[in-house]
């Protein structure tokens, strides 16, 4: 069994305001409830308590926790073994609602690759709807650090936005190696086919791990199928009005204060 990262353990302990033994009880309960290894369950507990886990989680960890939805509170932490004190400790936040600030405003975090023209088109479209797409330099400044890690900038973008839009464009070309091909594999496995940049795929996983209900997937162009998102509804954006309306519906559904009373959004942004 993989060992739980000590720094992560200390963060959970500090956030919950309990002893080390109590932290292990909380983690073990999460492991049992979600059928996860203890080290991955610790990541779920930390995430649910509002702790940034990007630097602690591996790509394999993200795959495991992606389908685990955040709980309103950590059950084991809410029911301690010893009698709870009559009053909460000064400064201790006892509910997830109080701990996590409600996201307000009109900011949208956009994940994109090398296709700057399509990135600009999405930004233009969002602005025509009265929304404010966060630029990279703005997220960089929002970390309030001189030399933040890239993951910290991305986390800041997630935290400051009402929603995340992941823009899939066929910036790379890929195919399966011949020695791994099976007779049933389709042409997209045999021939070079467009796919999103690897950083976009990774950040899409981060977005789903952190806020699956606030993440919108948008495709522009022809892409290789991504097996892990087959069955999820994505907006296949073109200049057609019907696809633009789909995008607007998704933005409203996740809580964006969309202003679609005008008509600029009907044509702003070129998705041909």
Domain assignment present for residue 271? The answer is no
Do 128 and 68 reside in the same domain of the chain?
no
- Domain at 140, CATH number: 3.40.50.2300
Helix (H), strand (E) at residue 195 = strand 193-195
Token pair, residue 63, equals 């795959």
| Per-residue pLDDT tens digits for 38-57 | 888 888 888 888 888 888 88
Helix (H), strand (E) at residue 165 = strand 163-168
| Per-residue pLDDT tens digits for 217-233 | 999 998 888 877 777 88
pLDDT band at 114 (very low <50, low <70, confident <90, very high): very high
Name 272's Cβ contacts closer than 8 Å, sequence gap at least 6: 238, 239
Instruction: Tell me how far apart the alpha carbons of residues 216 and 68 are, in angstroms, rounded to a whole number.
Output: 18
Do 166 and 262 reside in the same domain of the chain?
yes
Do 134 and 180 reside in the same domain of the chain?
yes
Do 59 and 118 reside in the same domain of the chain?
no
Do 247 and 162 reside in the same domain of the chain?
yes
**Cβ–Cβ contacts within 10 Å for residue 229, how many?**
16
Domain-ending residue, one of 93, 127, 160? 93
Q: What proportion of the chain, given as a percentage, has pLDDT over 70?
A: 85
Helix (H), strand (E) at residue 132 = strand 132-134
Do 211 and 257 reside in the same domain of the chain?
yes
Q: Which domain holds residue 64?
A: 6-75+84-93
pLDDT value for 178 = 92
Domain tally, the chain: 2
Overall pTM surpassing 0.75 (yes/no): no
Do 120 and 238 reside in the same domain of the chain?
yes
């Amino acid at each position: 069994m993989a060992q739980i990262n000590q720094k992560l353990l200390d963060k959970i302990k500090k956030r919950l305001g309990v002893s080390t033994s109590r932290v292990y009880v909380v983690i073990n309960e999460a492991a049992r409830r979600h059928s996860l290894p203890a080290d991955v369950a610790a990541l779920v507990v930390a995430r649910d308590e509002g702790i940034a886990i990007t630097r602690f989680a591996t790509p394999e960890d993200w795959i495991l926790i992606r389908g685990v939805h955040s709980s309103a509170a950590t059950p084991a932490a809410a029911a301690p073994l010893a009698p709870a004190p009559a009053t909460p400790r000064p400064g201790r936040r006892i509910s997830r609602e109080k701990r996590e600030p409600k996201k307000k405003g009109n900011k949208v975090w956009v994940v994109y690759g090398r296709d700057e023209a399509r990135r600009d088109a999405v930004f233009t479209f969002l602005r025509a709807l009265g929304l404010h797409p966060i630029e990279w330099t703005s997220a960089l400044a929002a970390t309030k650090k001189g030399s933040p890690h890239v993951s910290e900038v991305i986390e800041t973008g997630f935290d400051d936005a009402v929603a995340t839009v992941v823009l899939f464009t066929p910036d790379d070309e890929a195919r399966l190696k011949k020695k791994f091909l099976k007779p049933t594999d389709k042409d997209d496995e045999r021939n070079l086919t467009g796919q999103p940049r690897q950083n976009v795929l990774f950040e899409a996983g981060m977005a789903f791990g952190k806020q699956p209900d606030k993440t919108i997937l948008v495709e522009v162009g022809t892409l290789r199928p991504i097996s892990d998102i087959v069955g999820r509804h994505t907006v296949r954006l073109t200049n057609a009005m019907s696809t633009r309306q789909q995008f607007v519906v998704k933005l409203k559904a996740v809580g964006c204060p969309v202003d679609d009373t005008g008509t600029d959004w009907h044509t702003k942004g070129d998705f041909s």
